[in-house]
Amino acid sequence: MSAEPYFTPGSCAMRLQNVEGLSSVTKSALLRSIADDISAAFICISKQISCGTLSARHTRPIHGFIASIRNTERLEQQRLQQDLERYRQRERRWRAERKWMRRKVEGLVKHSEGIHKQWKERLERAKGNFDDATRELAALRWRYELSRSKAEKEKLQGREMRL
């Protein structure tokens, strides 16, 4: 047996006093020692039952303790199952939301592509109209210059005739 008082056989509850001041390694060793004591107690009780020294009436508190552990375990299992079901529901909801968002984004992309195509066509038409207007303006300027030069020529010729 270890020399430390924590590891000496005795009351498990008493040995857990001041556990918060122990290191992690010491806590593990203490709980291992307590588990060994509990196992040894169950083995001794089993031997006494086999010998006939103890009866079901004597071991009723032990059976109640074991039932309490099983009940706690069952309740914990139910809680974990409920948590798992909530997580599955959340997963289904998130999957549905992602699917909905993906469809919305795809719709927005198609819509924006349609708008882009419309504006591109409008821009091409406007560019064509601008090019046509530029050519027409150049032609009109040429005619204007031609008319102006003709008018100046006629004006000069008209002055010459008067002179």
- Whole-number pLDDT of residue 5: 57
- Whole-number pLDDT of residue 12: 72
| Contact yes or no for 11/38 (Cβ under 8 A) | no
- Whole-number pLDDT of residue 10: 61
Give me the number of domains the chain comprises.
1
Compute mean pLDDT per 10 residues along the chain, 163 residues long, and list them: 55 81 92 90 93 92 90 93 98 98 98 97 92 94 93 80 63
CA dist list (Å): 38 to 4, 42, 133:
19, 6, 101
23 lies in some domain = yes
- Whole-number pLDDT of residue 1: 43
61 lies in some domain = no
- Whole-number pLDDT of residue 7: 56
State the residue range of the domain holding 41. Answer: 1-54
- Whole-number pLDDT of residue 161: 67
